[in-house]
Structure 1
Amino acid sequence: MVTDSIATPRRGLLVGNYCHDVLHRDGRVSAETLGGAASFISVILDALSLPFHTVSKVGPEFAYAAATSSHPPLTIPTSRTTLFHAHFGSGNPDRLLNRVISCDPIRPDDLPVQTRFAFGLAVGVGGEILPETLEKMLEICDTVFVDIQGLIRRFGPSDGRVSHVTLNESGFLHLLPRVPFLKASADEASFIDVEEARRWCCVVVTHGKDGCEVFSENGAFQAAPFKAYQVDPTGAGDCFLGGFAAGIVRGLSVPDAALLGNFFGSLAVAQVGPLKLDSNLVQVCFSQYFCHQLV
Structure 2
Amino acid sequence: MVTTIPQTPNTPIQSVLIVGNYCHDVLLQGGAVVAETLGGAASFISNVLTGLSVSFHLTSKVGVDFKYPVNHDPIVVPTSKTTVFHAYFDQGYSENAHQDRVLKRVEVCDPINPSDLPDRKFDFGMAVGVGGEILPETLERMVEICDAVFVDIQALIRSFHENGTVKLVRLKESGFYHLLPRLKFLKASSDEALFMEVEEVRQWCCVVVTHGKDGCEVYWKDGEMKIAPFGANQIDPTGAGDSFLGGFVGGLVHGLVVPDAALVGNFFGSLTVAHIGLPKFDLRLLQRIKEEVQTRKVQGTCWLERRDDEVSFTKPAGHDEFHASLSSSKLVSAECRRDLPRSPGSVEQVIRPQYKGQQKFLLNSVYDKSN
* Residue 91 of structure 1, CA deviation: 4.3
Deviation string, structure 1 residues 157-215 (Cα, Å, up to 9, x no partner) = 2x111000011000000000000010000000000110001001110000111110111
Do the aligned residues in 1 keep the contact of 2:80 with 2:109 (CA within 8 Å)? yes
Identity of aligned residues (%): 61
Q: Distance in 1 between matches of 2:150 and 2:127?
A: 6
Q: Secondary structure at the match of 2:208?
A: strand
Q: Distance in 2 between matches of 1:41 and 1:162?
A: 21
* Residue 15 of structure 1, CA deviation: 0.4
Q: Distance in 2 between matches of 1:7 and 1:48?
A: 9
Paired AA for residue 128 in structure 1: E
* Residue 293 of structure 1, CA deviation: 4.2
| 1:28-107 pair list within 5 angstroms | 28-64=32-68, 66=69, 68=70, 70-89=71-90, 91-92=92-93, 93-107=99-113
Q: Distance in 2 between matches of 1:258 and 1:138?
A: 22
Do the aligned residues in 1 keep the contact of 2:41 with 2:242 (CA within 8 Å)? yes
* Residue 249 of structure 1, CA deviation: 1.6
> Counterpart of 2:302?
none
Deviation string, structure 1 residues 26-80 (Cα, Å, up to 9, x no partner) = 222111110000000001111111111110000001010x2x1x21111000000
Q: Does 1:124 align with 2:129?
A: yes
Q: Secondary structure at the match of 1:209?
A: helix
Do the aligned residues in 1 keep the contact of 2:81 with 2:108 (CA within 8 Å)? yes
Q: Secondary structure at the match of 1:129?
A: coil
Q: Distance in 1 between matches of 2:289 and 2:54?
A: 16
| 1:243-282 pair list within 5 angstroms | 243-282=247-286
- Mind listing any 5+ residue stretches in structure 2 that lack a counterpart? 1-9, 94-98, 300-371
Most deviating of 280-289 and 126-135: 280-289
Q: Give the TM-score normalised by structure 1.
A: 0.93
Q: Distance in 1 between matches of 2:122 and 2:284?
A: 26
Give the number of the structure whose alpha-carbon radius of gyration is greater: 2
Q: Does 1:143 align with 2:144?
A: no
> Counterpart of 2:322?
none
> Counterpart of 2:244?
240
Q: Distance in 2 between matches of 1:120 and 1:248?
A: 12
Paired AA for residue 124 in structure 2: F
> Counterpart of 2:139?
134
Paired AA for residue 20 in structure 1: H
- How many pairs align? 285
Q: Return closer, same or farther for 1:26/1:198 CA change in 2, 3 Å cut-off.
A: same
| 1:198-237 pair list within 5 angstroms | 198-237=202-241
Q: Does 1:182 align with 2:186?
A: yes
Do the aligned residues in 1 keep the contact of 2:190 with 2:209 (CA within 8 Å)? yes
Q: Distance in 2 between matches of 1:38 and 1:187?
A: 21
- Mind listing any 5+ residue stretches in structure 1 that lack a counterpart? 1-5
Q: Give the TM-score normalised by structure 2.
A: 0.75
Q: Distance in 2 between matches of 1:181 and 1:154?
A: 22
Q: Does 1:27 align with 2:28?
A: no
Paired AA for residue 65 in structure 2: E
* Residue 90 of structure 1, CA deviation: 7.8
* Residue 279 of structure 1, CA deviation: 4.1
Do the aligned residues in 1 keep the contact of 2:19 with 2:127 (CA within 8 Å)? yes
Q: Secondary structure at the match of 2:100?
A: strand
Q: Return closer, same or farther for 1:289/1:141 CA change in 2, 3 Å cut-off.
A: closer
Deviation string, structure 1 residues 59-110 (Cα, Å, up to 9, x no partner) = 001010x2x1x21111000000000000102843111100111100000000
Do the aligned residues in 2 keep the contact of 1:104 with 1:128 (CA within 8 Å)? yes
> Counterpart of 1:3?
none
* Residue 286 of structure 1, CA deviation: 2.9
Paired AA for residue 241 in structure 1: L
Q: Distance in 2 between matches of 1:172 and 1:20?
A: 26
* Residue 239 of structure 1, CA deviation: 0.2
Q: Secondary structure at the match of 1:190?
A: helix
Do the aligned residues in 2 keep the contact of 1:108 with 1:132 (CA within 8 Å)? yes
Paired AA for residue 111 in structure 2: P
RMSD: 1.4
